[in-house]
């Protein structure tokens, strides 16, 4: 997939792009199956809604080693549709993955994520400049009823807002406060819901404000996030750094793989069962 000049201009203006049906049902089934498999593992890379409850966030599925490693996710993050698109919007080829995660919202009980900027936390990781981008891939259909992601258009243009540490969620988060959000929403176009069939994707700037609500539906909702940084912008040393699964120390430039890489892992996954 090659972005057009008009798409690149829209990304710079709005802070995001949405790609309906970017991944096929076959690719989604492989990735979703891997999420189901890995979510049963007991690992520090997995956060749950409550003790022994359903997984809320799974980290580090993209690497080739570790408890949560997945060949399909390792292949996915190298596809031109993901890595190539990140290279295009960041204007650099030498990228690494700051972290990869899967967010799950269990039917009925899946909780909300408050308004935040990814760079709110990533700057505290020692990253100096907001030269990061995130590709999100819907692994289940997303609707406003089941807690879809919302993006606030053009909000990235105002830079990073000082965050506060919100401890009300299962995975503690650096969030943007209510007073700031009321002001931001009043001055920007209405938040845009990222909805669509499984396989739809979006890419957004690290300073774009985003949030999601509770899953009120009777069906689970799952989304994969691939967060890229430029190698030249890798973190400086900080006191008490976060763990590697959320603040990667693998700064080797990623290489583009085949666009059908996810499908190529199907035989490997099938032979392991």
Span 37-47, pLDDT tens digits: 999 999 999 99
Residue 227 CB contacts under 8 Å (≥ 6 apart), including other chains? 97, 98, 99, 100, 101, 118, 132, 133, 134, 206
Q: Count of domains in the chain?
A: 1
pLDDT value for 127: 98
Half-sphere exposure (CA, 13 Å, Cβ side) for 106? 13
Q: Whole-angstrom Cα distance, residue 248 to residue 99? A: 6
Tens digit of pLDDT for each residue in 155-187?
999 999 999 898 876 667 899 999 999 999 999
pTM for this structure? 0.95
Half-sphere exposure (CA, 13 Å, Cβ side) for 235? 24
Tens digit of pLDDT for each residue in 188-223?
999 999 999 999 999 999 999 999 999 999 999 999
Q: Whole-angstrom Cα distance, residue 175 to residue 113? A: 9
CATH number for the domain that contains residue 190? 2.60.120.620
Q: Whole-angstrom Cα distance, residue 212 to residue 196? A: 15
Range of the domain at 66: 5-271
pLDDT value for 148: 97
pLDDT value for 53: 82
Low-confidence ranges of the chain (pLDDT < 70): 169-171, 267-273
- Please tell me what DSSP assigns to residue 265: T
């Amino acid at each position: 997939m090659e972005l057009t000049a008009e798409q690149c201009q829209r990304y710079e203006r709005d802070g995001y792009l949405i790609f309906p049906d970017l991944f096929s049902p076959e690719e989604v089934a492989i990735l979703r199956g891997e999420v189901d498999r890995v979510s049963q593992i007991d690992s520090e890379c997995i956060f749950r809604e409550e003790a022994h409850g359903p997984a809320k966030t799974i980290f580090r599925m993209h690497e080739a080693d570790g408890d949560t490693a997945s060949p399909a996710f390792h292949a996915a993050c190298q596809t031109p549709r993901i890595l190539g698109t990140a290279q295009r919007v960041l204007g650099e080829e030498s990228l690494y993955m700051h972290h990869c995660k899967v967010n799950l919202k269990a039917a009925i009980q899946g909780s909300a994520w408050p308004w935040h900027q990814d760079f709110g936390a990533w700057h505290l990781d020692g990253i100096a400049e907001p030269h990061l981008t995130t590709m999100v891939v819907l692994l289940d259909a997303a609707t406003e009823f089941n807690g879809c992601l919302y993006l606030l258009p053009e909000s990235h243009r105002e830079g990073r807002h000082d965050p506060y540490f919100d401890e009300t969620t299962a995975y503690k988060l650096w969030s943007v406060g209510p007073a700031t959000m009321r002001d931001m929403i009043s001055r920007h176009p209405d938040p845009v819901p990222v909805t669509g069939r499984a396989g739809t994707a979006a890419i957004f700037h690290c300073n774009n404000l985003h949030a999601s609500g509770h899953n009120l539906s009777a069906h689970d909702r799952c989304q994969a996030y691939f967060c890229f940084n430029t190698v030249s912008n890798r973190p400086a040393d900080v006191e008490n750094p976060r763990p590697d699964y959320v603040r990667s120390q693998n700064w080797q430039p990623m290489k583009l793989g085949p666009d059908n890489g996810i499908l190529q892992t199907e035989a490997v996954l099938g032979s392991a069962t």
